Structure formats: C-alpha cells, structure tokens
Structure 1
Amino acid sequence: MTEMPYRTALVTGASSGLGRGLALWFGKRGVKVYAAARRHDNLEALAREARVTGADIEPVALDVSQAEPTLERIRALDDACGGLDLVVANAGVGGQTDARHFPWEHAKRIIDVNVTGAVATLSAVLPRMVERNRGHLVGVSSLASCRGLPQNAAYSASKAFLNTFLESLRVDLQGTRVRVTCIKPGFVKTEMTAGIRHVMPFLLESEPAVELMGRAISRGAAEYGFPWPMDRAVGLTKLVPNFLFDAVASRVL
C-alpha cells in the first residue's frame, strides 16, 4: 500500500456514497479523517466500521449550505489537528430543474450546497495552507459539467462553476506547495443516482469509483474524469455545434 502524503484530511458529504468511500479509503491508509455531513448517525456508523479496520475517522456534524458555520467549524478542526493536509469538498446535491417548470427552491438548494458550500469548504483554511506552504484542495465535480444538460440547468452549472473555480485556484497557487485537484465522476451507483430512470452509460459501482478517485487525489492530478470512455465522449461534445447539440440533447430525457 502506497504511503500517503497526508496526516490529516477532511471529507464532506461523508455520510454516504463517494464521500463515505473516500473517508474509509484514506482512513485505511493511515490518514486521520474528519468525516463531515448532516446525518450524524450515518457518520457514527462509519466511525465504528472504520475502527474495526484500525482506521481513525472522526464524525463531524456539518451542513455546508450554511457558509459561515462551515468556515468556523473547518478552521476549528484545522486548529485542533495542527493543520489539515487534505480538504475534499465532496458534499453535493442533484435533481432535475426543468426550465419549463423551474423549481426555484430546489435550484437554490443545489447552488447553496454545490457552489456556496463547496467554496466555503475549500477556502476555509486556504490562507493557512499558503502560509504553511503545504496542503491539497480537492473538489468533486461531475462530467455533467461539460455542457448544459437537459433538465439539469442548476446541477450542470453548479459543477461548471466548481471546475472554473478550482482551475483559477490552481493557477494562482503555482509556485507554492499547495495542490488543487478537480475530480469529475461519470455515473456511479450511489444514493444520488438511485432515482435516475434514464440510461446511465458506463455506470460504475461505488468501490471501484472510490479507488480511482483516491489514486488520482494521491498522485496530485490537476483534473481527473472517469470512466475514461465517458470522459472522452463528454470532451467531444464540446466540439458539437450548438444547433446540433440542442436538437440531440433535448430528446435525451
């Protein structure tokens, strides 16, 4: 097992799915993990499971949609552990936002969590990482960020924001030892995708998806999209003219 370049890590959205998997993945490799989410009972169960394997995972009750409390809580964790080495902004929500019947309340929730919550998580101790000249910021985006997907205006846009935000951070941090990684999963079998009824190409089970993500983060990849056939296909859609993309995409769902 490769030695981890981190002593401590914070993973948000860790009560289920990819966040839960990442918390265990890093915990089993000797990293002290602060697993954060709203569902504290799920986090307690995760911590108990981790102890059986010798992993050190500490539950942290956190709702990233509340930006100010999120900033304060993460800074307090940073103080308590002597500096977070890795911060993974994984917490996210999805769901349809059809323009014909646009659900403002749900769109706001997506933006509060996927945009405001992610920025609060990633920026909370960024100045301290720069001062320490070490650290790693990771944002979990999505291949759905490639273009405006049908009935997903809020979700696709929220992840496109995260892509650009992380890229700008990466550029600004050139010349420092603070790294930035943007992870773009395709379809993975989790709670978030459980309600999707349309075809999900190259659908991955959670465990292999977590393995791919963990390895990409550990090697400090700037960007990593997976599975690779879906990543390549999505990249090609950027070359499709708008009139053709609109005609095809509007018939997908």
Structure 2
Amino acid sequence: MAETRYGTALITGASSGLGYGLALWFAKRGTRVFAAARRLQNLQALAEEARAAGGTVEPVEMDVSRTDETMAHLQKIDADCGGLDLVVANAGVGLDTNGKRFKWERAKQVLEVNVMGAAATLSAVLPQMVERKRGHLVGVSSLAGFRGLPKNAAYSGSKAFLSTFMESLRVDLRGTGVRVTCIYPGFVKTDMTAPNKHPMPFMLEAAEAAELMGKAIVRGQTVFSFPWQTRAAMGVAQALPNAVFDPLMRKLR
C-alpha cells in the first residue's frame, strides 16, 4: 500500500503523550503541523524540537471541549492554510468513574472532551474535505472501548462512541476521496496513565506508539489496534458472555 504525504495536518492533544509524539513524527517528514492543546508552553517546546529537526509545528492554544470555538478555529486554519489534508482527534481525558462512587462532574469532563470535543474536531472541516474530494480524518479511540471496564464507565463509553462514529463516517465517505482511520491504542506511557498504580501489561513508550500510529495513518489503514497482545486479550473479552465477563472484571477491579 502506497504511503500518503500530507502537506498540512492538525493534531489535538499535542501538548504531551501520543499527540506530541505524532505531531513531531509528521513534522520530521515535511508536514506543516498545527499542534493544538490547552498548554501553550508545551506546544512551544514541541515547536522548538520540531524546528531543531528541520520540521514545522505551529502551536494552537485550544480547548476542544469548547466545541463552538473548536469548530471556528479549525475552519479558520483550514481556510488560511489552503485546506487541511489530515485532522487527528487525539485529545482525551481519562478519569475514574466508579459506579459505586459515581461523580457526575468527572463523567461530564470525560464526555465533553472525548465525545463532544472529538466529534467537533472531526466535523469542523469535513464538508470542505468532501468538496475538495481529499482529506483524511483520524480518531484516536482505545482498546478500553471494546467493553465496559471497571471504574471506567465514562472513558470506555466515550471511546465506544468514537469508534462507532468513525465507522459510520467511513461508510458514508467511501468514494468521496476522504479517508477515515480509527486507532485503538493499548497502554501507553503518558500523563493519563501515569497516576495508575495497577499493572499495565505490554505498555509502550509514547514515541514508539506514535510511530506505529503514524505509519498506520500514512498507509491509509481504516482500523489499527496495538499492541497485538492487548488487542488479542480484548478480542477474547469481547467474546465472553456477561456471566463470565462480569465476575472476571470484578476480580480485576
């Protein structure tokens, strides 16, 4: 499969972790990257690192949970740069939402970023991409969205939404010239996973995971999940009947 070259790309959640690594990966390959996140200082450090490597990253201070502002911001960037070739909805929040001690404010924050923020990011310039008959939308879901994991009602649910959202877009956009990719990472060493005190098997470094994602995107894969060991385990979990899955999850909790 031939690899695609992108002149321009916008990546959210780029101030750390997967977004930071992915923005740097594309910048080193000649893509003009608009790196969006709330932490401007981190984005400026990313831009400096990219510049030292001969690439171009332009910081974009933005909170995807403010969906109207996000839509307007992306549309302006799209118009100013002559059209975004690639949009990656990577920004995400993971907070404990244990059903026994459920806190709506935590769930609300997760859903505002992972559902509404991701949908706004992916929708902002979709009509323009269809009109141009080119473009690539990428949603960063999670293997945690394959089933409802303990203490993760909001997070698992939000990632399940994103994967189904991307699938419907993929079906609708077939033949338009606009491509759709949904990525399902397993455990990656990021700010989000740092507070977790429990074992996280087959964990990858953020740079390694970003490279895997970047290669899948340029190959035009419609679906990409990694690492294979965690994907296989989640595949088994998907096949388990609830009578087996529920007590197993209670033990893992």
Q: TM-score, normalised by structure 2?
A: 0.98
Contact 1:4–1:31 (Cα < 8 Å) also in 2: no
Matched, 1:100 2:100: yes
Q: Give the Cα separation in 1 of the matches to 2:67 and 2:197.
A: 33
Matched, 1:132 2:126: no
Q: Give the Cα separation in 1 of the matches to 2:185 and 2:58.
A: 26
The share of aligned pairs that are identical, in percent, is 62
Partner of 1:11: 11
Q: What is the identity, as a one-letter code, of the residue corresponding to 1:5? A: R
Q: Give the Cα separation in 1 of the matches to 2:18 and 2:236.
A: 26
Secondary structure of the 2:181 match is strand
Partner of 1:223: 223
Deviations 1:215-237, CA, capped at 9 Å, x for gaps: 00111111111001111111121
Partner of 1:245: 245
Using CA pairs under 8 Å that are at least 6 residues apart, name the structure with larger relative contact order, 1 or 2: 2
Secondary structure of the 1:9 match is strand
Contact 2:216–2:224 (Cα < 8 Å) also in 1: yes
1:157-176 alignment runs, 5 A limit: 157-176=157-176
Secondary structure of the 2:92 match is coil
Secondary structure of the 1:97 match is coil
Q: In the superposition, relative to structure 1, how do residues 4 and 220 fare at CA in structure 2: closer, same or farther (>3 Å)? A: closer
Partner of 2:44: 44
Q: CA deviation at 1:4?
A: 4.5
Partner of 1:147: 147
Partner of 1:32: 32
- Which consecutive residues of structure 2, in runs of 5 or more, have no partner in the other structure? none
Contact 1:87–1:136 (Cα < 8 Å) also in 2: yes
Q: Give the Cα separation in 2 of the matches to 1:5 and 1:149.
A: 37
Contact 1:47–1:59 (Cα < 8 Å) also in 2: yes
Contact 1:10–1:36 (Cα < 8 Å) also in 2: yes
Matched, 1:180 2:185: no
Q: What is the identity, as a one-letter code, of the residue corresponding to 1:240? A: L
Q: Give the Cα separation in 2 of the matches to 1:175 and 1:50.
A: 35
Partner of 1:77: 77
- Which consecutive residues of structure 1, in runs of 5 or more, have no partner in the other structure? none
Q: Give the Cα separation in 2 of the matches to 1:153 and 1:235.
A: 19
Q: Give the Cα separation in 2 of the matches to 1:238 and 1:46.
A: 38
Partner of 1:86: 86
Partner of 1:204: 204
Secondary structure of the 1:251 match is helix
Q: CA deviation at 1:3?
A: 6.6
Q: Give the Cα separation in 1 of the matches to 2:217 and 2:99.
A: 35
Contact 1:71–1:120 (Cα < 8 Å) also in 2: yes
Q: In the superposition, relative to structure 1, how do residues 4 and 172 fare at CA in structure 2: closer, same or farther (>3 Å)? A: closer
